[in-house]
Amino acid sequence: MDNLLSEGLNLMIFGMGFVAVFLTLLVFATTGMSKVVGKFFPEAPAQPKAKKAAPAAAAAANNNDELIAVMTAAVHKHRS
């Protein structure tokens, strides 16, 4: 019985050690790959958007007003 328990603990320690080493290597590998990809394929600088956002913002405000009215009616109907 004592031998079986020691073998179980031994297997547990080796298994957990293997997982810890594998995860550490995985972190280093993904960090290295990220640096390589960033070096050879850098991100393009962000281009400023045109000023066509104002009409879209007004349309979104209209949609929000309509949505608020619909939600208010739904809550009122649910409570009654």
Per-residue pLDDT, 67: 83
Per-residue pLDDT, 50: 65
Cα 70 to Cα 56, 57, 65, 73: the distances in Å are 21, 20, 9, 5
- What pLDDT tens digit does each residue of the chain (80 aa) get? 779 999 999 999 999 999 999 999 999 999 999 999 999 988 878 787 766 655 655 666 667 888 888 889 999 999 98
Per-residue pLDDT, 61: 62
Say how far apart CA 35 and CA 27 lie, in whole Å. 12
Per-residue pLDDT, 54: 58
In one-letter notation, the amino acid at residue 13 is I
pTM of the model: 0.48
The distance between the two most distant Cα atoms of the chain, rounded to a whole number of Å, is 78
